[in-house]
Amino acid sequence: MTVEGTSRVRESFRVTSAVTALVVGSGFVGLLIGSFVNVVAYRIPKGISVVTPPSACPACDHEIRVRHNIPVLGWLMLRGKCRDCGAKISVRYPVVEAVTGAVFAASAALVGEAWVLPAFWWFCGVTIALALTDLDVKRIPNRILYPGTVVAALLLGGGAALDGDLSRFGRGLVGGASYFLLLLLVALVARGGFGFGDVKLAALLGMFAAYWSWESLFVGVFAAFVIGGVLSIILLAARRVGRKDAIPFGPSMVLGAYVGIAAGRSIVSWYLG
């Protein structure tokens, strides 16, 4: 192998190692954030501070020990039960932590070494928390959505400026406004079919999907309605809900946006081809 070829191999290995480290590190960060997301999703709808008091068992109110607060591992060490009273601890907690870690790692793999990566981390944490609260209380709390959207826009705009991609940020703002107006129109026509929380959530989702590409926004919107429709049919067929029961649409919107960002371009290219 020539000297030039050896240098290329070394450079490729260096880049691959850096990306791998970024993805793995993002996964660990996501696990920690996932633990906090559980706290936010549980406490905000109840009007409880996310800072105090420390995490405790909801059954006996005993404070959870530090070692048992380790994401995923803490639940496994406790075998899904409170050490003090033996009450069951929902498997949802480690699942949310693991999913958040996986989404953070996927974001790093997709975005790469770019200044907008923290914005996408924030976006994932906020949207997972909003999806959980919508599932729990059928409501998207403004206490999460408003500050979450403002910080997301600041992080995305700042990261885009540092990356030299301000035009993409402008496209994201247009996409967010477009998704907002579309869902607002649907909500007005449907007369109660969608909550205004879903409409406001569309602005956040549309901003990040359109920042990635127009194809991502289109697929994200389309996927949200497909996923929501399929889930509604399944729940109705299983008699888990009635025809007049409200079915949260926020989780479908979030999942649709993830699909659009991750695979929107490929899906549109496949469809057109």
3-42 residue pLDDT tens: 455 556 455 556 577 888 999 999 999 999 999 999 999 9
pLDDT digits (tens, 9 = 90+) for 71-97: 898 888 888 888 888 889 889 999 999
Residues 154 and 235 occupy one common structural domain: yes
Residues 252 and 187 occupy one common structural domain: yes
Residues 253 and 130 occupy one common structural domain: yes
Residues 105 and 148 occupy one common structural domain: no
- Any bridge partners for residue 103, and if so which? none
Domain boundary among 81, 111, 141: 111
CB atoms under 10 Å from CB of 266, counted, come to 11
The amino acid present at 149, given as its one-letter code, is: T
Residues 96 and 214 occupy one common structural domain: no
How large is the average pLDDT for residues 126-137? 95
pLDDT digits (tens, 9 = 90+) for 149-204: 999 999 999 999 999 999 999 999 999 999 999 999 998 887 766 788 999 999 99
Residues 215 and 259 occupy one common structural domain: yes
pLDDT recorded at residue 159: 97
Residues 3 and 138 occupy one common structural domain: no
Residues 163 and 212 occupy one common structural domain: yes
Domain boundary among 111, 142, 157: 111
Q: How many domains does the chain have?
A: 2
Three-class SS of residue 63?
strand
Residues 202 and 236 occupy one common structural domain: yes
pLDDT recorded at residue 39: 92
Q: Which DSSP symbol is given to 130?
A: H
Interacting residues of 3 by C-beta distance below 8 A, sequence separation 6+: none
Sign of the four-CA dihedral 256, 259, 260, 266 = negative
Q: Distance between CA 257 and CA 162 in Å, rounded?
A: 24
Residues 233 and 118 occupy one common structural domain: yes
pLDDT recorded at residue 132: 96
